[in-house]
Amino acid sequence: MNLHSISLSFLFAIFAVLTSTHITDSNPSFLKYLIHFSLTFFSSSPITATVIVYSSGGHHHQYNRHNNEGEIVTPCEGFSPDFPKDTNTTSYLCVDPNGCCNFTSVQAAVDAVPDFSQNRTIIWINTGVYYEKVTVPRTKTNVTFQGQGFTSTAIAWNDTANSSHGTSFSGSVQVYSTNFIAKNITFMNVAPIPNPGDIGGQAVALRISGDQAAFWGCGFFGAQDTLHDDKGRHYFRDCYIQGSIDFIYGNGKSFYQVLFPLSIVAMATKNKKKWNNPNKLVCFL
């Protein structure tokens, strides 16, 4: 899938979420058409399809289905997450939107992590879009978010600088702890894309303020101020970062080995990309 298709898919995903959340009396036939349109024209982008299904209300209920023999099959039947047993150095928590794990929300799993633990806690997050604002406080050290692919697992919220009383607090996910790791997951801010000159429209997808954080195979989607690389030392590898104005900013001392950041205002190229922080070292793959 080329960069133009990814950009269109992301914009359409935002439109779908906003349709369901801001138009409360949406015509069901219109939403069905929206889903059909998305699956037909954007089927190459699994995250778009996931967001569309989420937006239409599929996340609110557990639906049973029938197998070929007509027997009722629950959403959790046959569910067996593939992760090891807890050890002396590592423990696992499981998040699933259908209730097939320990938790149905990412924040609940974060809250269950022991304070200032010296061991690594891996929060295994199943496929789905988790529409919630998540904070990893300073006390929750050595936490890993393990998604199932950045096109399959996403955390999304829609705060802006206006709604959260400051750009720094608008992040859909905000991490203040040390030694945080994220793998194969997307962070999204689905607030409306601000018009040029708008005040308070900044909308952060992720704010990373803890030291020694690492991100592998992650997606960061938003418009203005998508990724707030606030402070600390951070490493980004094989990540996809998309936004418009200042969409990577902050005072972090970070090393980026990314697919390359993409501007949704004007398609950026390696030679035209500008960075506002001399502490950042960028390597395009």
For tokens 């009722």, name the residue: 72
The number of helix segments (H) and strand segments (E) in the chain equals: 5, 21
> Alpha helices, DSSP H only, in the chain?
3-22, 28-41, 46-53, 106-111, 161-164
Q: What is the rounded CA–CA span in Å between residue 4 and residue 2?
A: 6
What is the residue type of 176?
Y
Angle at the Cα of 21 (from 146 to 167), degrees rounded to 5? 65
User: Which positions ≥6 away from 240 have C-beta within 8 Å?
Assistant: 6, 150, 218, 219, 220, 258, 259, 262
Catalytic residue annotation: 225, 246
Paired tokens of 194: 């601000």
Q: Which of 101, 119, 122 is nearest to 110 (CA)?
A: 122
User: Which positions ≥6 away from 11 have C-beta within 8 Å?
Assistant: 193, 264
Exposure b/e, 117-151, CB count within 10 A at least 16 = b? eeebbbbbbbebbbbebbbbeeebbbbbbbbbbbb
